[in-house]
Amino acid sequence: MGRDNAFYSHNALPGWLESLAKPCGTAGGDICAQNLENRLLDRIASGGLSGRYAPERTRQVEKAEMGSNFFYHPSWPVLYEDNHLLGLYKPAGLLVQGDRTGEESLLELARAWLKDRYAKPGNVFLGMIHRLDRPVAGVVLFCRTSKAAGRLSLQFRAKTVRKTYLAVLEGEIRQASGRLVHHLERIEGRSTRVLNTPTPGSREAVLSFSLLDYDPKRRLSLVEVDLETGRHHQIRAQFAHLGHPV
């Protein structure tokens, strides 16, 4: 789950990741993303991630690392990169874009990483065309050129891009697949309210899901979700309304 009491700092990330990274399985084995994420969240919960982004103190990337396909640390992979796009893994708890809290974001870290990696002078362009909520872990695609940002924005608006989500829900989902239609109403200073009928201040929220697995011992269901609309915390709100919180 996301935590709101810490900063991700660019200049401190290498040391944190080095201390957080532990082998998966046998000693000396590969570091897995899940272990890294769990340890990041543990460190956040304990207040161990602190500091602020400081461009003037960005670390120098070693020449041996310049050709390596990772983001700050080998346990944080760059999922895709070319002259137009950059695909990164976002850990749960990290903002995609900075907000009024002033906490660091994946967008800021990515700009600084590109600046260091390619010794770019001045500001680095990196376009954001979609977001993931702070508590969510997943893939974020950034655009390295304005042309790519314009073209991909058109694809998102035309809904030719498919975004698939996985969610672990409490309780047993008794149907193999389904479609949820609700109306969400944002309440100032509070969470989203789920309604079965529209109100002047609500917006329709629609998703489809398929049951992938069920763990009877822990009573947890794994579902694949396709969003037909993109409302704030939509997946969490709609399934919680049915008695199956994420």
Active site residue ranges: 133
Amino acid identity of residue 79, one-letter, is L
Cα(12)–Cα(84) distance, rounded to whole angstroms? 28
* C-alpha dihedral (13, 105, 100, 238), degrees to nearest 10: -120
Token pair of 143 as six digits: 């655009």
Sign of torsion over alpha carbons 241, 6, 90, 130: positive
Which residues sit opposite 193 in a β-bridge? 185
Cα(94)–Cα(177) distance, rounded to whole angstroms? 31
Neighbouring C-beta atoms of residue 151, cutoff 10 Å: 13
Cα(5)–Cα(50) distance, rounded to whole angstroms? 9
The residues, ordered by sequence, that sit 6+ positions from 63 with a Cβ below 8 Å of its Cβ are none
Amino acid identity of residue 243, one-letter, is G
Cα(223)–Cα(214) distance, rounded to whole angstroms? 9
Cα(182)–Cα(242) distance, rounded to whole angstroms? 11
